[in-house]
Chain A
Amino acid sequence: MENVIPYKIQILSIIGSLLFMFFIFRLIVKGKLREEYSIIWIICTLFLLVFAFWRNGLDIIAKLLGVYYAPALIFLGAIFAIILFLVHLSVVNSKLQKQIKDLAQEHAILRSELENKNKG
């Protein structure tokens, strides 16, 4: 009985990781996700898969780093990755905002020239 629950969660996490990977690939194939952003997601799913198969991996790494409660390592890693990715998105967002501003200004100036030409 004791071994049933860990196997269950292992199978579940493998299925979950594979589904996630499939989802990411589908987004890339459909052209809804640019390749440069997809790299980080593929790496994430690979991580998930590795730890889904390698059941003792988490414990071993936790011991190596001196973390007493192994699951805490998951949260630490995940939160760190999420924060990094959020900063990355803010940088992308700022760049987009500047590009949109430049485009809007250029567009408005050209339109005003065009309208003046049509009038004259």
Chain B
Amino acid sequence: MEKTATNNIKALIIIPCYNEEGNIARVIDQLQGLSFQDVTFTILPVNDCSKDKTLSEIKKYSANFINLPINLGIGGAVQSGFKYAKKNNYDIAIQFDGDGQHPAESICDLITPIINNSAQVVIGSRFLNKEGFQSSSMRRFGINYFKYLIRSLLGITITDSTSGFRAINKQVIDLVCNYYPDTYPEPEALVLYQLNKMKIEEIPVIMKERESGTSSIGTFSSIYYMIKVTLGILFIYIRLKANGKRNTV
């Protein structure tokens, strides 16, 4: 029984990229050497209508890729990866940023709880062991605020709710194909997972600072980010709670 459970697991590594021509080659290169137990990894960069040469860089290094005809934002880009995973019957979908901040070698740790069935969602957290790049103090303040917001709503503690380094299993893939938030989706998705009774686990990872290009969240928009995410979290919470009640009555 134990053997069949780990046999031939298909994992899809979704790399959303927007203007990442300077990073994407290195990111794909790091992921290509990856091997873990009987897991077959497929690398799937998703070009979110980049304005630079990201697409030709992707074409050079990866046979599989998705090229979005219009810019959908990070949420829409990642979701197209999830839809691809569902269509091609993948067991695990891994979200991996195209900017080179995420450590490729930690993917094995990330999917272990899913293979062992101890969690359905696994998040790589840079704050669990407080090692590596810890982000700016402004960003950390925001992440702490989300930690308290999510704790008071859901009763779980997520130290790195904005982390885009995640793995989800088949059940969760079905869930996010139906609905996934568009902009700044990471904290909001946690509410979606928890209220659908998916088990969330965090593992410590060491993240690097991005080497080229700019982040999707600038300093000016950080206040907008906090307001948008707070509203997103509250609305999805209210919506799912209301739907849940309607279904049980």
Using CB atoms and an 8 Å cutoff, list the residues of chain A in contact with chain B. Answer: 100-101, 104-109, 111-112, 116, 119
Q: Which of B58-66, B100-108, B123-131, B150-158 contacts A (4 or more CB under 8 A)?
A: B58-66
Judging by beta carbons under 8 Å apart, are A108 and B69 in contact? Answer: yes
Q: How far is the CA of A101 from the CA of B68 in the complex (A)?
A: 10
Q: How far is the CA of A116 from the CA of B8 in the complex (A)?
A: 22
A-B contacts besides A100-B70, A104-B76, 15 pairs, CB < 8 Å: A101-B72, A101-B182, A104-B70, A104-B72, A105-B72, A106-B83, A108-B67, A108-B68, A109-B80, A109-B84, A111-B67, A112-B64, A112-B65, A112-B84, A116-B63
Count the A-B residue pairs with Cβ separation under 8 angstroms: how many?
38
Q: How far is the CA of A109 from the CA of B67 in the complex (A)?
A: 8
Interface membership of B162, Cβ < 8 A: no
Residues on B with C-beta less than 8 A from A107 are 69
Q: Nearest-CB distance from A89 to chain B (Å)?
A: 19
Q: How far is the CA of A100 from the CA of B80 in the complex (A)?
A: 13
Q: CB within 8 A of B76: which of A105, A112, A116?
A: A105
Judging by beta carbons under 8 Å apart, are B72 and A109 in contact? Answer: no
Interface membership of B79, Cβ < 8 A: yes
Q: How far is the CA of A59 from the CA of B84 in the complex (A)?
A: 64
A contacts with B: majority SS:
helix
Q: Nearest-CB distance from B68 to chain A (Å)?
A: 5
Residues on A with C-beta less than 8 A from B182 are 101
Q: CB within 8 A of A116: which of B64, B69, B80, B83?
A: B64
Interface membership of B87, Cβ < 8 A: yes
Given A116-B63, A116-B64, A109-B83 contact (CB < 8 Å):
yes
Residues on B with C-beta less than 8 A from A109 are 66, 80, 83-84, 87
Q: How far is the CA of A24 from the CA of B104 in the complex (A)?
A: 60
Residues on B with C-beta less than 8 A from A108 are 46, 66-69, 80
Judging by beta carbons under 8 Å apart, are B83 and A105 in contact? Answer: yes
Residues 166-188 (chain B) with a chain A CB within 8 angstroms:
182
Residues on A with C-beta less than 8 A from B63 are 116, 119
Q: How far is the CA of A111 from the CA of B46 in the complex (A)?
A: 13
Judging by beta carbons under 8 Å apart, are A105 and B65 in contact? Answer: no
Residues on A with C-beta less than 8 A from B79 are 105
Q: Nearest-CB distance from B151 to chain A (Å)?
A: 30
Q: Nearest-CB distance from A117 to chain B (Å)?
A: 12
Q: How far is the CA of A100 from the CA of B49 in the complex (A)?
A: 14
Q: Nearest-CB distance from A99 to chain B (Å)?
A: 12
Residues on B with C-beta less than 8 A from A111 are 67
Q: Which of A101, A105, A106, A112 has the most CB of B within 10 A?
A: A105
Given A101-B76, A105-B76, A112-B69 contact (CB < 8 Å):
no
Residues on A with C-beta less than 8 A from B87 are 109
